[in-house]
Amino acid sequence: MKKILLLRPEEKFEELNIDFAEVINFPLIRLVEDDFSLDDIKFDTIVFTSSFAYISFKKRLGESIKEVLNGKRIIAIGDKTSSVIDFKSIVPERQSWRGIVELIEKGENVLIVRSRDGNKKLPEELRGKGAVVKTLDIYHSEVIDRDFEILCKMFNSKEIDAIIFSSGMIVNTFFKLFDKYCINRRILPKIIVSIGEETSIILKNNNINFIELEKPDILYAIKKICGKI
């Protein structure tokens, strides 16, 4: 049975009911909600860049979310985000910020609901197309620099068969901590899987060999690693 390492924030981790792999989740970042206001913000289209962005947005607005989103075009960055949204939403063919750019027209009033640490290219590209863009930063990430030596020992003893990376921020955080505590990258497992276009770009920047999946889904990635697909 393969032992697979996930690095998801606790706020995003979901228990997986599988019997063909041992999945270990070791969070490297925590998600912290920030205050926000919708006063004086007008928009025709609202973009949610993560499932947590929508969950946090809904939590703060409560029942008034129905009024706020009534008649608005809702775009989710991917299938996972769309699955938590309680209203009809559009998912771009390319499930990334680049796919969102393709959906927005010149003159469109767009509100991007995102992390404070979110990709700056999305609003820049939309403004470049002539859209009127506002961003609503409703949470941020904090690094958890604790007990990483445990992972170093597991890598050294070859206990981990594969790592799944699900965001560029997690990649950057992982290698910052890895180079601090583990040092030798040769102890990394041979199977490294990337979920998402941006994740792959950051892995390439770190000179890491990886498998890029055609479907951005954790369970799909685990099945792929274990030869179930």
Q: In the sheet that 162-165 helps form, which strands lie side by side, from edge to edge?
A: 21-25, 2-6, 162-165, 191-194, 211-212
- pLDDT for residue 210: 95
- State yes or no: pLDDT of 16 exceeds 80: no
The domain defined by 37-137 folds into Rossmann fold (3.40.50)
- pLDDT for residue 83: 92
H helices of the chain, where? 51-61, 65-69, 79-84, 97-103, 121-128, 148-156, 168-181, 197-205, 218-225
Task: Return the amino acid letter for 175.
Answer: F
Q: How far is it, in rounded angstroms, from Cα 185 to Cα 124?
A: 35
- pLDDT for residue 172: 95
The tokens describing 190, both together, are 């041979």
At residue 220 the predicted structure's pLDDT band, cuts being 50, 70 and 90, is confident
pTM (2 d.p.): 0.86
Judging by beta carbons within 10 Å of its beta carbon (0-12, 13-18, 19+), is residue 213 exposed, middle or buried? buried
- State yes or no: pLDDT of 133 exceeds 90: yes
Ordered DSSP codes for 160-220: --EEEE--HHHHHHHHHHHHHHT--GGGS-SEEEE-SHHHHHHHHHTT---EEPSS--HHH
Q: How far is it, in rounded angstroms, from Cα 15 to Cα 21?
A: 13
- State yes or no: pLDDT of 229 exceeds 80: no
**Pairing of the two strands 45-48 and 109-115:** parallel
Question: How much of the chain, in percent, has pLDDT values that exceed 70?
Answer: 100
Task: Please check whether residue 22 is in contact with residue 4, taking contact to mean a CB–CB distance below 8 angstroms.
Answer: yes
Q: How far is it, in rounded angstroms, from Cα 49 to Cα 53?
A: 7
Task: Please check whether residue 81 is in contact with residue 50, taking contact to mean a CB–CB distance below 8 angstroms.
Answer: yes
Q: Which CATH class is domain 2-27+145-225?
A: alpha beta
- pLDDT for residue 117: 86
Q: What's the first-to-final CA gap in the chain, in angstroms?
A: 16
Hey, where are the domains in the chain? Answer: 2-27+145-225, 37-137
Lowest mean pLDDT, pick from 62-66, 104-108, 151-155, 220-224: 220-224
For residue range 52-93, what is the model confidence (pLDDT) as tens digits? 999 999 999 999 999 999 999 999 998 889 999 999 999 999
Q: Would 2-27+145-225 and 37-137 be classified into the same CATH topology?
A: yes
- pLDDT for residue 196: 85
